A and B are shown apart, each in its own frame.
Chain A
């Protein structure tokens, strides 16, 4: 592919990615939002985080089938406990990484 072909492809991909990121922010940030919408939107971060985490924790992502007790989930339990105890984001990331590295040596 030539420079212009790549530019067209990635430029178009960038545009269709940018629009959904931009339109709601551009319009909603200058509007009085109704209380029900604010309440609903306040639940969106938790809902998105859980829907992103669900397949990582509970499924085999190559075959897209249910898999309970996979290392990602088993490591998540002590990682969450560490997060509850310390309230530290960076510390939790490091502990999660360390435990996940160690989980490779477990006979699971």
Chain B
């Protein structure tokens, strides 16, 4: 057998580039999930939920806020049906994200879409949408982000249930990781005055709605209202030109 020579000038196919890109894009999410996941695990543990059940919940549900609410409701002795209904309402906001991401996954295989849907969260949605805008993003990289975030979430909640009570809360400022990520992603999305106006309306309305109306309706209500006002502002601007 002759020695194989590698031609350095010829571009080598890089089969792992998609994974590396996915990893680079998802690490802020994974980082941010650590303190929240640990906290959830600790609370679950205190509520008397076995470690395996915490893991099972994170795999089956994969939605942070709903899982916190579930633990709180179980502690308060709520019925299963009321927990399931609350979960449904809290997670309805994903309809908006799923619709928005569909624009970038046009024509993709339905089986792939069905797997992709499982990983749509506030965080993976925000990261993937920002990347899709930059044009160098594809479904494979996007689902890598979803799945790595999922892995971090399942791991963090499980570890939290096992040893969480020994880790001090708020160490290294990790509580702020997801907020900082949202801030940066928001900034990257402000392409023109229409987006800025939409954002300002959502901030003001979101604060008022959150303070005045109990529950989580502020997320969907504010998003739809702000995007609609922004849309009509865009049309108005186009007519002026």
Residues of chain B lying within 8 A (CB to CB) of residue A14: 60-62
B94, A79: Cβ atoms closer than 8 Å:
no
* Contact of B114 (CB < 8 Å), options: A9, A17, A22, A44: A22
* Contact of A51 (CB < 8 Å), options: B53, B180, B188, B226: B226
* Contact of A21 (CB < 8 Å), options: B32, B117, B226: B117
With A47-B230, A79-B180: A54-B222 Cβ-Cβ less than 8 Å: yes
B96, A44: Cβ atoms closer than 8 Å:
yes
Alpha-carbon gap, A53 to B203, bound state (A): 7
Residue of A nearest to B195 (CB): A46
Residues of chain B lying within 8 A (CB to CB) of residue A38: 103
Alpha-carbon gap, A101 to B177, bound state (A): 11
Alpha-carbon gap, A16 to B82, bound state (A): 12
Alpha-carbon gap, A40 to B226, bound state (A): 10
A29, B223: Cβ atoms closer than 8 Å:
no
A13, B61: Cβ atoms closer than 8 Å:
yes
Alpha-carbon gap, A61 to B147, bound state (A): 30
Alpha-carbon gap, A18 to B92, bound state (A): 10
B-facing residues in A6-49 (Cβ within 8 Å): 6-14, 16-18, 20-26, 28-30, 33, 36, 38-49
B63 contacts A by Cβ under 8 Å: yes
With A10-B53, A20-B92: A65-B181 Cβ-Cβ less than 8 Å: no
Alpha-carbon gap, A5 to B50, bound state (A): 13
Alpha-carbon gap, A30 to B181, bound state (A): 31
Alpha-carbon gap, A24 to B223, bound state (A): 17
Task: Kindly state the interface size class of chain B when it binds its partner.
Answer: 35 or more
Residues of chain B lying within 8 A (CB to CB) of residue A42: 100, 103
B126, A17: Cβ atoms closer than 8 Å:
no
Task: Kindly state the interface size class of chain A when it binds its partner.
Answer: 35 or more
* Contact of B83 (CB < 8 Å), options: A13, A51, A100: A13
B218 contacts A by Cβ under 8 Å: yes
A25, B210: Cβ atoms closer than 8 Å:
no
A-facing residues in B187-241 (Cβ within 8 Å): 187-190, 194-195, 198-200, 202-207, 209-211, 214, 218-219, 222-224, 226-228, 230-231, 234
A89, B110: Cβ atoms closer than 8 Å:
no
A84 contacts B by Cβ under 8 Å: yes
Residues of chain A lying within 8 A (CB to CB) of residue B181: 89, 92-93, 96
B-facing residues in A59-108 (Cβ within 8 Å): 59, 64-66, 72, 75-76, 79-80, 83-84, 87-90, 92-93, 95-102, 104
> 15 interchain pairs (CB within 8 A)?
A10-B53, A16-B88, A17-B87, A22-B98, A23-B98, A24-B95, A24-B98, A43-B227, A47-B230, A58-B207, A83-B188, A96-B180, A97-B176, A100-B179, A102-B173
13 extra interchain contacts, Cβ-Cβ under 8 A, other than A14-B60, A29-B106, A51-B205?
A9-B84, A13-B84, A21-B120, A39-B231, A41-B227, A50-B226, A51-B226, A53-B206, A55-B218, A64-B214, A89-B28, A96-B180, A99-B176
4 shortest interchain CB distances as A-B pairs: A96-B180, A54-B206, A101-B173, A50-B202
